[in-house]
Amino acid sequence: MEHEKSCGAVIFRKHHGNTELLLIKHTNGGHWSFPKGHVEPGETEAETARREVREETGLEVQIDTSFREVVSYSPRKDTIKNVVYFLAWVTSKEIHPQPEEVSQVKWVEISLAPKWLNYDNDRQLVNRVKTIIKKCY
């Protein structure tokens, strides 16, 4: 069995009194999810998440490492992929999607985000994030 590891972030912002999440539509597969990518040698998980967000969206983020969730799935036969997600908030405003990886980027009110997401793992992640944001932010 082959194992892969990626790291990413569920990015939120407060906007006009609402909490919004940043969703991206992946060019490969056409599904809505969160920014993520493979860990490069020598990187910490948080560094990977920050780099991947910057590469895929152009945004700079602050990573909250106290929120760390692992989503596991099988992208191919005989492969297990673990994706480590952190909670993050933006520290820059300009979105510049990476066209090779991302076809669309949008801010979605947190309660509507599950309707946009294609995978149950991502919808469950939103529910966990919603609780933390309400309690801590």
| Residue 117: pLDDT over 90 | yes
Per-residue pLDDT reduced to its tens digit, 54-87:
999 999 999 999 999 999 999 889 999 999 999 9
| Residue 129: pLDDT over 90 | yes
User: What's the CA gap between 116 and 113, in Å, rounded?
Assistant: 5
17 three-state secondary structure: coil
| Residue 41: pLDDT over 90 | yes
Question: Please, which pLDDT band fits residue 118 given cuts at 50, 70 and 90?
Answer: very high
Q: Which of 57, 65, 16, 51 is nearest to 34 (CA)?
A: 57
Per-residue pLDDT at 100: 95
